[in-house]
Amino acid sequence: MAKDDYKGIWIFAEQEHGSLEPTVLELLAKAQELKAHNGESITAVLLGCDVGQLAETLFSYGADEVIVADHPALKEYSARPYEKALTQLVEKYGPSILLYGATPLGRDLAPRIMVSLGTGLTADAIDLGFDEDGVFYQTTPGYGGKILAHIVILEKRPQMATVHPQICAPIEPRTGVSGKLICETVTVEADSDYEVIETAPAENAGKSIAGARIVVAGGRGVKSEEDLNQLRELAELLGGQMACSRPLVDNGWLAHEKQIGQSGITVKPDVIFNMAISGSVQYQLGMQNAKCIIAVNQSEDAPIFDIAHYGAVTDYRKLTAALIEELKG
């Protein structure tokens, strides 16, 4: 197929147990901007088992077309059957763009599709658009966040990217809107190497920080588990949730689900306290859209102060202790 024959903006409509991953609706919103530029229709591709009922939601959030591939082997996410199914659909329809959320599943599936189709993939894009020559580009932080790279996939199709969560807000759902529903048959079989018997939430995972209204986040400056408990107490007194930058996950004190940032979770709370966090580009990517950013750092040069609405240059432990005392009355 010639490069120019590939048409259509595809969104991989990730779902788990019949619920759409929130990033899908964000991608559909981003796709509206792309469509306004290249005029190509927006297709959401849904893989699973008995998931057709999600098509209505996808239409209301901006899909012109929904392709559903329903198959028992696609009930739970499994890399090889999903790869096979999506590859077959892409080969049949030939979209020019294919976007995935940069979720654990999206990050697992997209590189496999890249290999099976022999095309290009940008990881963790934080922006997408068309340049002055009409070339589709994906922007992603490179060299540890020191540069923003604009990546273009000139020759291969589809042009693919995993897209960082929360770079775009979903559109207001449209009522009474429908589109073209295509039910496709794919040839897949369950992965013979392993079988998913059951899925269950991780033990002690607690509530997701993604939807928290108040977040107290600790960074590398938190030197002991006792100090971490002090921050935990503050979070509890505020009715918020505890989170962290990457070093506290790396040292095993908190689960990866509590990590904010490019390779962690994106949060958008009303208030976030950043305690002893310098504010690396990768960290900021996960919290810069918080409504109120409070930074507490003993170094006045910490980059977190560049985006903070309120800041204190002090030992975070002293301020935390004072806040706890105040809240306890």
Ligand X SMILES: Cc1cc2nc3c(=O)[nH]c(=O)nc-3n(C[C@H](O)[C@H](O)[C@H](O)COP(=O)(O)OP(=O)(O)OC[C@H]3O[C@@H](n4cnc5c(N)ncnc54)[C@H](O)[C@@H]3O)c2cc1C
Given the complex with ligand X, which of 137 and 316 has the nearer CB atom?
316
Pairing mode, if any, of strands 15-16 and 9-12? unpaired
Phi-psi category of 259—alpha, beta or left, where left has phi over 0 and alpha has psi -120 to 50?
Answer: beta
Report how far residue 26's alpha carbon sits from residue 127's, in angstroms, rounded to the nearest whole number. 12
Write the interaction track for ligand X spanning residues 291-310; mark x where CB under 6 A is met and - where it is not: -----xxxx--x--------
Work out how close the CB of 177 gets to ligand X at its nearest, in angstroms, rounded to a whole number.
Answer: 36
Residues 65-124 that bind ligand X (CB under 6 A): none
Report how far residue 166's alpha carbon sits from residue 144's, in angstroms, rounded to the nearest whole number. 20
Region binding ligand X by CB under 6 A among candidate stretches 4-12, 157-165, 183-191, 314-322: 314-322
Given the complex with ligand X, which of 230 and 245 has the nearer CB atom?
245
The correct pick among 220, 237, 256, 289 for binding ligand X (CB under 6 A) is 220
316 binds ligand X (CB under 6 A): yes
Q: 3-state class of 181 per DSSP? A: strand
Q: 317 and 230 in contact (C-beta within 8 Å)? A: yes
Q: How many helices (H) and strands (E) does the chain have?
A: 9, 17
Work out how close the CB of 274 gets to ligand X at its nearest, in angstroms, rounded to a whole number.
Answer: 8
Region binding ligand X by CB under 6 A among candidate stretches 57-65, 104-112, 113-121, 218-226: 218-226
Given the complex with ligand X, which of 229 and 299 has the nearer CB atom?
299
Residues 130-149 that bind ligand X (CB under 6 A): 144
Q: Which of 222, 224, 205 is nearest to 265 (CA)?
A: 205
Given the complex with ligand X, which of 113 and 296 has the nearer CB atom?
296
Q: 3-state class of 261 per DSSP? A: coil
Given the complex with ligand X, which of 172 and 226 has the nearer CB atom?
226
Residues 174-193 that bind ligand X (CB under 6 A): none
69: its two tokens: 């591939």
Work out how close the CB of 148 gets to ligand X at its nearest, in angstroms, rounded to a whole number.
Answer: 13
48 binds ligand X (CB under 6 A): no
Q: Long-range contacts for 128-137 (Cβ within 8 Å, ≥24 apart)?
A: 128/30, 128/33, 128/34, 128/99, 128/161, 128/163, 129/33, 129/34, 129/37, 130/34, 130/37, 130/38, 134/37, 134/38, 136/34, 136/38, 136/96, 136/97
Residues 226-285 that bind ligand X (CB under 6 A): 245-247, 259-264, 276-278, 280, 282-283
The correct pick among 108, 315, 321, 324 for binding ligand X (CB under 6 A) is 315
Q: What is the DSSP letter of 39?
A: -
Given the complex with ligand X, which of 34 and 228 has the nearer CB atom?
228
Work out how close the CB of 321 gets to ligand X at its nearest, in angstroms, rounded to a whole number.
Answer: 12
Count of residues that bind ligand X according to CB under 6 A: 28
Taking the CA atoms of the chain, what radius of gyration do you get in angstroms?
Answer: 22
Pairing mode, if any, of strands 15-16 and 19-20? antiparallel
CA dihedral sign of residues 217, 221, 224, 230: negative
Work out how close the CB of 105 gets to ligand X at its nearest, in angstroms, rounded to a whole number.
Answer: 18
Task: Give residue number: closest CB to ligand X.
Answer: 261
Given the complex with ligand X, which of 10 and 316 has the nearer CB atom?
316
Given the complex with ligand X, which of 71 and 246 has the nearer CB atom?
246
CA dihedral sign of residues 22, 28, 31, 36: negative
Task: Report residue 211 CA to chain centroid gap.
Answer: 13
Given the complex with ligand X, which of 32 and 298 has the nearer CB atom?
298
Interaction site with ligand X (CB under 6 A): 144, 219-221, 245-247, 259-264, 276-278, 280, 282-283, 286, 296-299, 302, 315-317
